[in-house]
Amino acid sequence: MVAIRLDEIDRKILAELQADGRMTNVELAKRVGISAPPCLRRVRTLEESGLIRGYHAEVNSRELGFEVQVFAMVGLESQAESELSAFEERCREWPLVRECHMLNGEVDFILKCVAPDLSSFQQFLTGELLTTPNVASVKTSLVIRGAKDEPGVPFDVLEERMSRTA
């Protein structure tokens, strides 16, 4: 992973691919204002530099049978680094846990989970999460409804900052 100097075209490419990751290179080139070959080279460079981590189809979880989404706040008994890593590793192994972030404040971790239904989640909660060694407390909150769910970052904020510092 090498630091890369991005120009405006690169940022446009990132913004476009974040919005539509399956766009053809020809279309992308047209939108950012260069021809196809240099555009493809830039995309490859962005991928190799790690600025683009991958491409994902966004699926409709609910329609696919994952009716339930839950945030879980987890507190641990011990916050020793080895214990923190051990818990993180557990989270990586649980398919129902989609995100795990270590937080500051009273709570140690926040987990975003999905499940086919409430009983599946309860089963995971009582059978897995709560029985994990070193887990002191878990507070769960069901998602009643989703109001916004945008992946990635707001590139317009980035552009603003660039123009201000330029």
In the list 12, 13, 14, 42, the residue contacting DNA (rule: CB under 7 A) is 42
Closer of 24 and 85 to DNA (Cβ): 24
Helix (H, G, I), strand (E, B) or coil at 20: coil
Closer of 9 and 46 to DNA (Cβ): 9
Q: Does residue 25 touch DNA according to CB under 7 A?
A: yes
Q: Give the binding range for a copy of itself (CB under 8 A) out of 33-41, 128-136, 155-163.
A: 155-163
Q: In whole angstroms, what is the distance from residue 153 CA to residue 40 CA?
A: 22
Q: In whole angstroms, what is the distance from residue 69 CA to residue 76 CA?
A: 22
Work out the number of other CB atoms within 10 angstroms of the CB of residue 111.
20
Question: Six-digit token pair at 164?
Answer: 């201000």
Closer of 17 and 29 to a copy of itself (Cβ): 17
Q: Report yes or no: 90 and 130 within 8 Å, Cβ to Cβ.
A: no
Question: Six-digit token pair at 22?
Answer: 């399956």
Q: How many Cα atoms are found within 13 Å in the side-chain-facing hemisphere of 41?
A: 5
Residue 36 binds which one of DNA, a copy of itself, none, with CB within 5 to 8 A depending on kind?
A: DNA
Q: In whole angstroms, what is the distance from residue 158 CA to residue 136 CA?
A: 40
Q: Does residue 19 touch DNA according to CB under 7 A?
A: no
CB of residue 160 to DNA, shortest distance in Å: 23
Q: In whole angstroms, what is the distance from residue 64 CA to residue 31 CA?
A: 33
User: What x/- string results for residues 62 through 101 when contact with a copy of itself is judged by CB under 8 A?
Assistant: -xxxx--x-x----------------x--xx--xxxxxxx
Summarize as ranges the residues that interact with a copy of itself (CB under 8 A). 1, 3, 14, 17-22, 50-61, 63-66, 69, 71, 88, 91-92, 95-105, 107, 109-110, 114, 116, 139, 141-154, 156-158, 161
**Can you give the binding site for DNA, defined by CB under 7 A?**
9, 24-27, 34-38, 40-42
